[in-house]
Amino acid sequence: MSAQRWFYDLLGNLLGLEQMQRISGVKFGWGAPWAQRGSMWLLFGCLALLAVAALFYLRYQTNRSRPVRLALLVFRGLLLCLAFLLLAEPILQLSLQSKKRPALWLLFDGTDSMDIADDLPDEDREATARAVGLADAAPTG
pLDDT tens for each residue of 19-70? 777 778 888 889 999 898 888 989 999 999 999 999 988 888 888 888 888 8
The structure's pTM equals: 0.56
Domains in the chain: how many in total? 1
| Max avg pLDDT among 54-63, 67-76, 97-106 | 67-76
* Spatial distance between the Cα atoms of 58 and 55, rounded to a whole number of angstroms: 5
Inter-residue contact 23 to 94 (CB < 8 Å): yes
Which residues have a Cβ under 8 Å from the Cβ of 15 and sit 6 or more positions away? 96
pLDDT at 81: 95
Inter-residue contact 46 to 83 (CB < 8 Å): no
Helix, strand, coil percent content, the chain, rounded in steps of 5: 55, 15, 35
Mean pLDDT of 83-93: 93
Answer yes or no: is 90 within a domain. Answer: yes
Residue 76: give the domain boundaries.
Answer: 3-100
